[in-house]
Amino acid sequence: MQSPGRISEWIFTEKENGKFQPRCTMVSSNFLQQESSECRNERQKYETLLITHQDNITTIAMNRPKKKNAISSKMFEELYLALDDASADDSVLTVLTGFGDYFSSGNDLSNSTKNPKDNTILSLRSFVGKFIDFPKPLIAVVNGPAIGIGMTILGLMDLVYASDRATFRTPFTKLGLCPEACSSYTFPKIMGFAKAAEVLLFNKILTAQEACNLGLVTEVFPDQTFKQEVWKRLKEYAKLPKNSLATSKQLMRGAEKEKLHAICDEESRCILERRDSEEAKNAVIQFFKNKAKL
């Protein structure tokens, strides 16, 4: 049973039929707000996400807690659609977070084992492209471990706030794969080549404070006060003029968009090549064998 004390940083729960269920509402004070018809429509629209709109902020929460928010083919598609909707709605900011204990455990490897010829890589390319082109401030609220693409996508965020219980790792070479989400470019740029190599080549796990010291995370907050402190700050940001923020972001980001798309295309080509290699196939098989022993 989902405990109300360890749930999403942004989404409370309500008890229904004796079980705690996700409720489409967000923290405003110390009470639960009534669920709006808009929230109910969002819940019907998405199977793997929880979407909320409040205080000029759209929040997208990955919602596969039993799978540690692993990103399935369905979630890739829904994240693409949710980002597309958020880019055009009336919000000032968009927030990406995770429901449950994890931010995201990365790409769901069962995507490729169930259907090796699926379109996950194409979905990944489109998904990453949405982050590159997103017109508004895009903020990651990392409530727990961020693995694989759950970490690499942070290099395309405008701000990254993390709980002190969050950890970060990219196990690509351990799985016979390679970097994604433009991290082959953004990580060396943010961290410096040597530190990025420890993460991308040698699978080093970073604590939240280490990720902050390297520049990937903007600020780290104690887990006990994480949601209150971050939400208070985001509400202040959302009071700023919407078009001024969008224009300023475009000036900061615009010059690199074409380059980032080209990097994403090349990474996607390499991922397809690596995924079909014997190294990767054997590594994924071993991954599931090890998982079965747990």
- C-alpha 127/C-alpha 81 separation (Å) is 9
pLDDT of 168: 99
pLDDT of 250: 97
**pLDDT band per the 50, 70, 90 thresholds, residue 36:** very low
Per the DSSP assignment, residues forming a β-bridge with 13 are 22
Average pLDDT across the chain, whole number? 85
Beta strand 159-163 with 138-142 is parallel
Its pTM surpasses 0.75: yes
**pLDDT band per the 50, 70, 90 thresholds, residue 287:** confident
Residues 184/156, Cβ–Cβ less than 8 Å: no
pLDDT of 281: 86
Residue 256 scores a pLDDT above 70: yes
Q: Mind listing the pLDDT tens digit for each residue in 212-228?
A: 999 999 999 999 999 99
pLDDT of 46: 94
Mean pLDDT of 73-97: 96
13-227+247-293 maps to CATH 3.90.226.10: yes
Highest mean pLDDT among 5-19, 35-49, 236-250: 236-250
Q: Mind listing the pLDDT tens digit for each residue in 9-33?
A: 333 333 333 333 443 333 332 222 3
Domain residue extents for the chain: 13-227+247-293
Q: Mind listing the pLDDT tens digit for each residue in 194-208?
A: 999 999 999 999 999
Residues 183/146, Cβ–Cβ less than 8 Å: no
Query: Higher confidence at residue 43 or residue 2?
Result: 43
pLDDT of 112: 58
Q: Mind listing the pLDDT tens digit for each residue in 134-164?
A: 999 999 999 999 999 999 999 999 999 999 9
